[in-house]
């Protein structure tokens, strides 16, 4: 009986295997696939009219702008940066230049072949090729570049092209839907969607003290190859030129945010590059910094606002109308500005010779100054306002001191040190307390304090006297660095 049961079980197993094989291979009843598809003809969901309208906005905008987006391929020649040991054994190899291929995207801005892209896409290129949406290929000429905004214009010999509609980036709102259109990772005519995550972003990607960064931040996916492509609103207007992405440091691919240059800046730059081959940009002639709470308290502002003038360039536009170090720019042409890049991006849309009206805060009062912008001078970074405080008689009662109330240790300076720092007076910071306000304001050992509360400092005793009088309030310091630059710093003085 037991033996019969075992044989019966085996027979059932064999029948099951054979039957399964027949189902799979013989009758085609089970077929491989990428995913279970369920009902091959499911009923279609009815879209609400508003949802359909919203969906159509994306479709229509993509159809309108995509023909205006081009793919750019470049060839550049760079020096062979071989390892030092390789150079030692094969010195002649270092003389052989290397050719590199790169590329990105571009936006057609005129029917006769002008294309807007990024400076970093065509920088140092010896050959530039453009592929249109209809797959036609053209060699392109670099018309002009502007490294300070990372913009460039190239030109192809073609007519009757589909030029993009350039919108107005001044009216953008955080949360607004946008699309990024370009050629990421060599995938032509790619459209991604997201929202504007922030405006006026400074990400310190342009390595120049005059660099203009006021990026539109978006979570629409932007990857390598998107550079120079379009950021588009739902009306089909280009409102930005895609330029940079946030990465994790290990790859150069998208991890959540991309950045675009506002189209209003791009329009001014492209017009100048097409007309003159260079940008005729105007400058106020100041070095600036945002106002923090301690500076605001020290100068009598009711809250941190405006842009602090740290230095005034000699013979610049600001110097000509009497702007001073320590003035705060509250408005430009009636528009409030609270971050340096807000002011810079506004000025970037102006040209040398244009006039702007500044609302200034000085000595606890507001005043207006009309400034005629001037072109940048090659000496601007060195040619700062040379007016210095009168040199009072030194008091040497105390030669060094630790000031607990502001987190600094200080000492008197020697005459040769004053020459090194290009100042007539001051005292040296010898130590800064960790986690103190002084450390957060980027004060450090080796910085010279030349003024406190608008008074010249010639000895440790001078500063001790002023700090004692300012306990419980904020103090404005002027400090100097070895490179000859100065800076205003606000510090809270503990009781």
Q: Among residues 120, 233, 327, 459, which one is catalytic? A: 120
The DSSP line for 282-316 is -B--EEEEEPPHHHHHHHT-SSS-SEEEEEEBTTS
How many angstroms separate the CA atoms of 234 and 64, rounded? 10
Strand partners, 39: none
63-276: CATH class: mainly beta
**What CA–CA distances, in Å, run from 9 to 12, 13, 342, 377, 444?**
5, 6, 82, 96, 86
Residue 263 exposed, middle or buried by CB count within 10 Å (0-12, 13-18, 19+): buried
pLDDT at 253: 60
Q: Are strands 355-362 and 335-336 parallel, antiparallel or unpaired?
A: unpaired
Distance of CA 4 to the CA centre of its chain: 83
Q: Among residues 150, 233, 272, 294, which one is catalytic? A: 150
pLDDT, one tens digit per residue, over 281-340 is: 889 999 999 999 999 999 999 999 999 999 999 989 999 999 999 999 999 999 999 999
Tokens standing for 132? 């249109």
Please report the sign of the dihedral spanned by the C-alpha atoms of residue 289, residue 290, residue 292, residue 298. positive
Which residue shows structure tokens 């972003």? 201
227 is annotated as an active-site residue: yes
* φ, ψ (nearest 5 deg) of residue 437: -60, -35
How many angstroms separate the CA atoms of 135 and 118, rounded? 21
Please provide the CATH number assigned to the domain covering 286-372. 2.30.42.10
pLDDT at 2: 47
pLDDT at 24: 45
Which residue shows structure tokens 């600001």? 318
Inform me whether the pLDDT recorded for 22 exceeds 60.
no
Mean pLDDT of 226-241: 95
At 345, the pLDDT band (50, 70, 90 cuts) reads confident
Inform me whether the pLDDT recorded for 113 exceeds 70.
yes
Q: In the chain, which segments carry CATH 2.40.10.120?
A: 63-276
Q: How high is the mean pLDDT of the chain? A: 84
150 is annotated as an active-site residue: yes
Lowest mean pLDDT among 21-30, 37-46, 312-321, 424-433: 21-30
Mean pLDDT of 188-201: 92
How many angstroms separate the CA atoms of 473 and 294, rounded? 9
How many angstroms separate the CA atoms of 262 and 145, rounded? 17
Mean pLDDT of 445-467: 93
Q: In the chain, which segments carry CATH 2.30.42.10?
A: 286-372, 400-492
Tokens standing for 257? 């945010």
Which residue shows structure tokens 């304090």? 449
pTM for the structure as a whole: 0.73
Inform me whether the pLDDT recorded for 465 exceeds 50.
yes
Q: Are strands 408-412 and 427-432 parallel, antiparallel or unpaired?
A: antiparallel
Percentage of the chain with pLDDT > 70? 81
400-492: CATH class: mainly beta
Q: Among residues 68, 214, 227, 474, which one is catalytic? A: 227
Which residue shows structure tokens 């008689």? 393
pLDDT at 187: 83
Inform me whether the pLDDT recorded for 167 exceeds 90.
yes
pLDDT at 484: 85
Mean pLDDT of 269-275: 94
């Amino acid at each position: 009986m037991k033996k019969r049961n075992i044989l019966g079980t085996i027979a059932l197993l064999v029948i099951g295997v054979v039957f399964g094989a027949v189902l799979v291979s013989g009758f085609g009843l089970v077929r491989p696939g990428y995913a279970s598809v369920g009902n091959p003809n499911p009923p279609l969901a009815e879209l609400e009219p508003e949802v359909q309208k919203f969906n159509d906005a994306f479709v229509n905008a993509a159809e309108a702008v995509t023909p205006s987006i081009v793919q750019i391929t470049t060839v550049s020649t760079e020096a062979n940066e071989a390892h030092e040991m390789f150079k030692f054994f094969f010195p002649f190899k270092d003389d052989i230049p290397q050719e590199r291929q790169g590329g990105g995207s571009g936006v057609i801005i005129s029917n006769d072949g002008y294309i807007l892209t990024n400076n970093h896409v065509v920088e140092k290129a010896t050959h530039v090729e453009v592929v249109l949406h209809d797959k036609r290929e053209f060699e392109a000429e670099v018309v002009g570049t502007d490294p300070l905004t990372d913009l460039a214009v190239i030109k192809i010999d073609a007519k009757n092209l589909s030029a993009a509609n350039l919108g107005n980036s001044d009216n953008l709102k955080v949360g607004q839907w946008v699309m990024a259109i370009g050629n990421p990772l060599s995938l032509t005519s790619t459209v991604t969607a997201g929202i504007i995550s922030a405006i006026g972003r400074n990400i310190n990607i342009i390595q120049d003290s005059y660099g203009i960064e006021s990026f539109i931040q978006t979570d629409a996916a932007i990857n390598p190859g998107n550079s120079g492509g379009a950021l588009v609103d739902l009306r089909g207007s280009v409102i930005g030129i895609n330029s940079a992405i946030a990465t994790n440091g290990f790859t150069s691919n998208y991890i959540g945010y991309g950045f675009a240059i506002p189209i209003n800046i791009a329009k001014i730059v492209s017009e100048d590059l097409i007309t003159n081959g260079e940008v005729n940009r105007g400058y106020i002639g100041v070095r600036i910094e945002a106002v923090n709470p301690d500076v605001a308290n020290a100068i009598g502002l009711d809250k941190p606002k405006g842009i602090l003038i740290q230095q005034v360039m000699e013979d610049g536009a600001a110097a000509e109308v009497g702007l001073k170090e320590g003035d705060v720019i509250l408005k430009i042409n009636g528009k409030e500005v609270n971050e340096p890049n807000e002011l810079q991006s506004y000025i970037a849309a102006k040209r040398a010779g244009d006039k702007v009206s500044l609302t200034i805060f000085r000595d606890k009062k507001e005043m207006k100054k009309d400034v005629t912008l001037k072109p940048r001078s090659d000496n601007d970074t060195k040619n700062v306002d040379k007016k210095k405080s009168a040199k009072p008689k030194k008091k040497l009662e105390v030669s060094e001191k630790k000031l607990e109330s502001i987190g600094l240790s200080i000492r008197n300076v020697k005459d040769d040190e004053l020459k090194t720092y290009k100042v007539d007076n001051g005292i040296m910071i010898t130590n800064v307390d960790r986690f103190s306000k002084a450390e957060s304001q980027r004060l450090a050992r080796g910085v010279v304090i030349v003024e406190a509360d608008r008074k010249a400092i010639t000895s440790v005793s001078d500063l001790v006297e002023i700090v004692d009088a300012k306990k419980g309030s904020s103090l404005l310091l002027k400090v100097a660095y070895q490179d000859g630059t100065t800076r205003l710093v606000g510090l809270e003085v503990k009781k």
